[in-house]
Copies of this chain bind each other. A is one copy, B any other.
Amino acid sequence: MDDSLNVPSLDTDSHHRDPAGANPAGPDSAEAGGWHRTALKVRYQETDKMAVVYHANYLNWFEIGRTEMIRSIGLSYREIEERGIYLPVLEARSRFIVPARYDDRIWIYTRIGAFSPLRLEYEYEIRRCEPEEAWSMDAAPFAENAGRPGTLLTTGATEHVWLSLDWKPVRLNKIAPDLYRRIARLAGEAQNSD
């Protein structure tokens, strides 16, 4: 079985975020290119004997972040998978700055870092809501340059590739142009980016 994932490099293929660039999104998508925030409380099961959150759990939280970001534009991974499209993780990176602890109130910030018909890259910040900060579990957008409440605990990024059910790379703009357009808009990319 050769089910290895041989796709062109992200660097040559996709539209990377230009940190200094203007937000190309139109007036009807004020949040395009910005951060999406969702929230959770640390579960007991997520701690380990160092009394902090076991590091692998941050990857779960990253996934919750991107799931809820996609949901904010009326999509769900469940529906995407029911249409026969998978979006597995190709690469993951995380940097652990301050450990999260049991019952901490956590905000997950997610944005799209790069986007192409073949791939999608997300960036994440995990932040802890401090006692003096107003807690909210509601999903919320944050403009790219706006301050993001919470103490920074972890940063990370994941790269994904669009696959068919039989685990072959597909071009999203070919097989699901509606999905492609909506995610492109969320990413803050011009729609003719490919």
Contact = CB atoms under 8 A, between A and B. Distances in A.
Contact of A60 (B56, B63, B89): B56
A47 B44 CA distance: 10
Contacts of A98: 3-5
A52 B49 CA distance: 7
A175 interface: no
Contact of A51 (B49, B55, B67, B103): B49
Contacts of A86: 50
Among A3, A90, A96, A137, find the residue whose CB has the most chain B CB atoms closer than 10 A: A96
Contacts of A55: 59, 88-89, 92
A50 to B, nearest CB: 6
A149 interface: no
Contacts of A52: 49, 88
A5 B88 contact: no
A172 to B, nearest CB: 17
* This chain: copies in complex: 4
Interface in A85-130: 86, 88-99, 101-103
Nearest to A54: B45
B91 A103 contact: no
B76 A103 contact: yes
Contacts of A59: 55-56, 59
25 contacts: A3-B99, A4-B97, A43-B63, A44-B48, A44-B49, A45-B48, A45-B54, A45-B60, A47-B49, A48-B49, A49-B49, A49-B52, A50-B81, A52-B88, A55-B59, A55-B89, A56-B56, A56-B57, A76-B103, A88-B96, A89-B96, A91-B96, A92-B92, A92-B96, A137-B137
Interface of A: 3-5, 43-45, 47-52, 54-57, 59-60, 63-64, 67, 76-78, 81, 86, 88-99, 101-103, 137, 167
